[in-house]
Amino acid sequence: MQTKPKNIPEEAPAYPQVRMRRLRAKTWLRDMVQEHHVRPADLIWPVFITEGTNASEPVASMPGVERLTIDRLLESLNRANDLEIKAFALFPVVPAEKKTMDGREALNPGNLICRAIQAIKKELPEVGVITDVALDPYTTHGHDGLIHDGKILNDETVEVLCEQSLIQAQAGADVIAPSDMMDGRVGQIRSTLDANGFTDTAILSYAVKYASCFYGPFRDAVGSSGVLKGDKKTYQMNPANAAEALREVALDINEGADMVMVKPGLPYLDIIKSVKDTFKVPTFAYQVSGEYAMLRAAAANGWLDYDAALAESLLAFKRAGCDGILSYGAVDYARLIQKNK
């Protein structure tokens, strides 16, 4: 026996009195009753920064994505800002000679990421700068933390992450985004920032970061794929776990996270919805490199319309409850919106 969904009253009229297609018959009416929208201002554009001047390097596994020197980056951010994208997530491509076992370059106030923050804030003071806090771009082993006898050290790593967060805040970062998945790091980073006068610097925690196969192209882009020893399953989450994600988010909120992130995105829409429904805090998702690469590859083979697939995928994030979305296709989408105005 069929029953009506709980949100539909028993006395609700049915076909033929109700014809759902009436609201789909005209473009203006479809647009008027649309429940969710994605604006360029909802998007965060992740960018890769490399050393040098006046240069760009394509990322082979991510068509359309480039590693940019700071001067070329500023040109790209100006164009993105004109398209109403107002926030950017920065990721450094650290030269091999500056990588060490302990990732000490992460604590250099004159490192690539700090110089990029300063340049952006001078050129575009009104945009949001979000910085990654983790050691993997800086280590010779490709892990997010310090290692001893093959084990990723939690508390010792957190101490370094606090220093890394502080130098990024001092350089001008608006949002610190720890992506390392060490236990307790949000609370200690918050305490460090507050103790040094950065009470207004926000924390976007990668609260739910799964040990996913979808990160491959990103590791290619930052140069960590060839150096990674083993996997990250002892600190990133098991893709099979959902209840654990809510525990992670609860802990980070209690420690002072202003916003929380789920990563990857599309394979974890159920997690995004659970987080938003449970906590009702600003919830973000990362449409990661593997997701972007799949769209590009399918489009290159003529199997998908890239623009339509990108727009639909971003809409899925909003429908699941996302306030903000990190996407390598952010500029592509913003151009599409502008074109269709």
CA 85/CA 77 separation, integer angstroms: 9
Segments making up each domain of the chain, as ranges: 38-339
How, if at all, do strands 66-68 and 56-58 pair? Answer: antiparallel
3-state secondary structure 209-249: EECCHHHHHHHHHHCCCCCCCCCCCCCCECCCCCHHHHHHH
- In CATH terms, 38-339 corresponds, of 3.40.50.11720, 3.30.1330.10, 3.20.20.70, 2.40.30.10, to 3.20.20.70
Q: What stretches in the chain show pLDDT beneath 50?
A: 1-2
Would you name the residues annotated as active-site residues? 209, 263
Predicted TM-score (pTM) of this structure: 0.93
**pLDDT score of 1:** 43
**pLDDT score of 340:** 86
